[in-house]
Amino acid sequence: MTRSSDALIKRELNSKVGRVRNDLTLRIFPGTSNFDQKLFGDGGLTFAVGDVSYGSCDAAWTIEEEWMDPNDGKTYRVRPLLALEGTDALNTGSTGNAQYQRFHHVLGAIRSGIPGVYYLKKGPKPIRPELHGMAAAASAGGVPYLVTDDLTVVKGLVAVSDDFNALLEFAIPYVEASKKIFDRYVEKNFGSMEQFAFDRSTVLKPSYLIKHAGRMVRNFTESSQRAGHIAVGEMFLTKLLFADSFMYYLFPRMTSTEIALLDDRKADDKEWRILRSEEGVEIIGRDQLSGLDASIDAGLKALESTPLKGKSMQRYDKLVKAIENGLRTDALKVATAGT
């Protein structure tokens, strides 16, 4: 989200929601501030799980009350009641996976036991149904995650946020509505989750799945690229919607050596750390597929640093389609333990 979009969302939160009640505080920082990148316990708006920090949120409603962070075991004098990440994506032409890329910012709060909202300011584009499905799935652990374009919903949540049971009573109908939105979308457009997976570059096996994406090393090492956020969003979409399966996240334009290089070069990068630390997810390169034809390997190597558009995209699609077919028929297998 750009700084101007960031400022727009924060102004709207201040003017249309505010504190709601006098005993609550709205923690929010100017669009030019970096304070939101600090951990919540240090006065910021970022939540961590273990040693993995998730992206910063835009706002949190708090109360003066002792709170023990379940991740670091420390007690703080301010308790977070509700976390929110906002975006103007529906007004900027974001119709696809760009909507997913900030989903994980709120997930850090959810995994810390704090209810959360991903707010997409109402616009001419609709909220992707997959986002509703992801939020409903993320809520399955008992802490509600809402996706909405309606600030009255946010205001209603804030009003009861200091009473978790009351908040649950308020939130559950919205979580259930999100699940229905996603289920209807799948039924209408795909007929089944198996076909949904097929159409989203995902191969389902009895005890695991393989999701592939055309990421290259440059996507993660050059500051002009936003692939880290998108890769994380796509990972959580697959992980949450197919929660019973171990996930292999295949980057066919990389090898295990290049993945190890990123482990070294991007050790402190938030998105890469999330990708590498998420339980039940393993990133693999094309050399970790046993039975891969040498011509496919050579074709993907030739595309390692090439933007995927036009003829290069056509070549890539043909190569990964062959990989998908091989995985589905077991002509190709993931050459790693447990498969």
Q: Per the domain annotation, does 43 fall within a domain?
A: yes
DSSP bridge pairs for 24: 63
| CB-based contact 239:137 (threshold 8 Å) | no
Q: Per the domain annotation, does 339 fall within a domain?
A: no
* Judgement on whether residues 231 and 109 belong to the same structural domain of the protein: no
* Judgement on whether residues 218 and 125 belong to the same structural domain of the protein: no
The total domain count for the chain is: 2
Domain boundary among 168, 186, 204: 186
* Judgement on whether residues 150 and 253 belong to the same structural domain of the protein: no
| CB-based contact 258:285 (threshold 8 Å) | yes
Say whether 206 sits in a helix, a strand or coil: coil
Q: Per the domain annotation, does 306 fall within a domain?
A: yes
Range of the domain at 305: 193-334
Give the model's pLDDT for residue 268. 83
* Judgement on whether residues 133 and 249 belong to the same structural domain of the protein: no
Mean pLDDT in order along the chain per 10 residues (339 residues): 72 92 93 88 93 92 94 92 95 82 93 96 95 98 97 97 97 98 98 97 95 91 72 95 96 96 89 94 97 96 91 95 96 75
Give the model's pLDDT for residue 225. 58
Give the model's pLDDT for residue 226. 64
Q: Per the domain annotation, does 246 fall within a domain?
A: yes
Alpha helices in the chain (DSSP H): 3-16, 103-110, 129-138, 151-159, 164-189, 193-199, 217-221, 227-241, 256-265, 270-277, 294-302, 311-329
* Judgement on whether residues 323 and 276 belong to the same structural domain of the protein: yes
Domain boundary among 140, 156, 186: 186
* Judgement on whether residues 209 and 249 belong to the same structural domain of the protein: yes
The residue type found at 93 is G
